[in-house]
Structure 1
Amino acid sequence: MARQLDEQIAGRFPVGRRLRVLDVGMGQGTQALRLARAGHQVTGVEQDPTMVAAARQALAVEPEGVRERVRLVEGDGRDTGVHFLPGSFDVVLCHGVLMYVEDPDALLAGLARMLAPGGLLSLLVRNADALAMRPGLAGDWVTALGAFDSTMYANRLGLDVRADRLDTLTSTLAGIGAPLHAWYGVRVFTDQAADGPLVPEQRGELQTLLAAEERAGRTEPYRRVAALLHLCGVRG
């Protein structure tokens, strides 16, 4: 997904431009730090104190130049209008957040308002049109059958959360003035893979695996059955 985001940034903004980035629901700050290392000014918003502490710890070991480019805000992503002026950012990230929001329309509208004209909105969501894939491939036929007509699922943490449909988000993005520009599938082949680092003998396969995932995430019909969708909207 990082490669997809970098591709969209490179295609939309002049090379070398230092962008103003807002990362809503930044978690432990992986994307925020990566973009700050690339020279961008990044503001991360996160409401979970544990995640904020992890992000601060990760930031503390970065070079001074990177630390100066990152601002961390402990707060709810639905309150961006309280913290920032409209049009304050060139790029807004909202990755892995919408599944925890019962009604995402207000959140998305608020994020779109944060974008300057021509700004990029990057969303990573669970794919509601492929919810039957994970239980089906695991042989859980009861859950698979129930997933066809649902947008709810139990995640790996055991929480009941929500997924989004591509057509619905496409309509929503058009309605908030940040119409869909590009979209990709994420975790087409690897959704069943165990979490954790690769063992040494597997690391040589990593680049091949990533190349296969990257290709599938851009190719029909594979991208439509991906576990996650990466959508990029552009502020008009």
Structure 2
Amino acid sequence: MTEPGRAFEDGVPGWLRNVERSRNTVRQRLVADQVAALVGGADALRVLDVGCGQGTQALALARRGHAVTGLDPSEELLERFAGDAEAAGVDVRLVRGPGEKAAELAPGPFDLVLCHGVLMYLDDPAPLLDALSAVAAPDARLSLLVRNGLAPAMRPGLRGESGAALEAFDRPDYTTRLGLAARMHTPSELDALLVPAGWRPLRWYGVRVFSDHRADPGPSELDDLVAAEAEAGARDPYRQVAALLHVQYRRPDRTIDR
């Protein structure tokens, strides 16, 4: 892991090659439904997607009428996001830069902050989480997608890499399929960083319980796979062994609570 945002930028070509794979499709469909549940019936939220990449989740929110800002260090991914937004006929604001500079580049305030697949590439997540807190409005909601640190040996074990699985039980670091150094997180670790900043845990889901190690299913099977993943990701013990965790928070408006 190097400077913030640098590690994933090195893996952008590989990410784009895999973006249409079923494992990414499953991830995006599950997370979209979980974000929709977090938003509920709220109208016209101000949304910041930090590390927005090609913008799958941000575009879904923009289509529903929310005011979306995307922040990402990758010019290539932002260009793809801009093209897809234009094709979809939605307006989004795109800003290039690292999430740690969110308060400078996209000060908000924002009612909903997304940060998906970013914390895993940082040696220390605290500066980024501080930046997310700084741009969040009172009563904001926060959506984090991280690699699951509750069951680090599952991924190599399911791939038949027994030696790697033995080494992984007590290690938070791992190497991604793109060959990038990364690390895992648990809900309690995130709580320890976010609760002192006023965030309150809402819920967390497992993402990709059944699909992380398997071949792409046929189109007729994909809907059933997503449905099974959604059920598993919302209940124990299944969610505890998912590839990813989707952890959600809300920061109560203290001006209302008084």
2:185 aligned with 1:158, yes or no? no
Give the secondary structure class of the aligned counterpart of 1:131.
coil
Counterpart Cα distance in 2 of 1:27 and 1:194: 24
Shift of 1:16: 5.5
Name segments (4+ residues, structure 1) moved above 4 Å: none
Q: Provide the residue aligned with 1:124 in structure 2.
A: 145
Match of 1:35 among 50, 57, 61: 61
2:113 aligned with 1:108, yes or no? no
Give the residue type in structure 1 aligned to 2:181. Answer: D
2:80 aligned with 1:58, yes or no? no
Give the secondary structure class of the aligned counterpart of 1:42.
strand
Gaps of 5+ in 2: 1-30, 253-258
Give the residue type in structure 2 aligned to 1:110. Answer: A
Give the residue type in structure 2 aligned to 1:18. Answer: A
Q: Provide the residue aligned with 1:73 in structure 2.
A: 95
Moved more, 115-124 or 166-175: 166-175
Counterpart Cα distance in 1 of 2:170 and 2:46: 40
Root-mean-square deviation (Å): 1.4
Shift of 1:160: 1.2
Q: TM-score, normalised by structure 1?
A: 0.90
Given that 1:129 and 1:148 are in contact with CA atoms closer than 8 Å, whether structure 2 keeps it comes out as no
Counterpart Cα distance in 2 of 1:159 and 1:217: 26
Q: Provide the residue aligned with 1:223 in structure 2.
A: 239
Q: Provide the residue aligned with 1:203 in structure 2.
A: 219
Give the secondary structure class of the aligned counterpart of 1:129.
coil
Shift of 1:42: 0.1
Given that 1:26 and 1:46 are in contact with CA atoms closer than 8 Å, whether structure 2 keeps it comes out as yes
Counterpart Cα distance in 2 of 1:182 and 1:113: 22
Given that 1:44 and 1:73 are in contact with CA atoms closer than 8 Å, whether structure 2 keeps it comes out as yes
Moved more, 171-180 or 115-124: 171-180
Q: Provide the residue aligned with 2:156 in structure 1.
A: 135
Given that 2:208 and 2:242 are in contact with CA atoms closer than 8 Å, whether structure 1 keeps it comes out as yes
Moved more, 166-175 or 118-127: 166-175
Match of 1:48 among 31, 52, 74: 74
2:228 aligned with 1:212, yes or no? yes
Given that 2:204 and 2:247 are in contact with CA atoms closer than 8 Å, whether structure 1 keeps it comes out as yes
Q: Provide the residue aligned with 1:5 in structure 2.
A: 35
Gaps of 5+ in 1: none
Give the residue type in structure 1 aligned to 2:98. Answer: D
Counterpart Cα distance in 1 of 2:168 and 2:186: 13
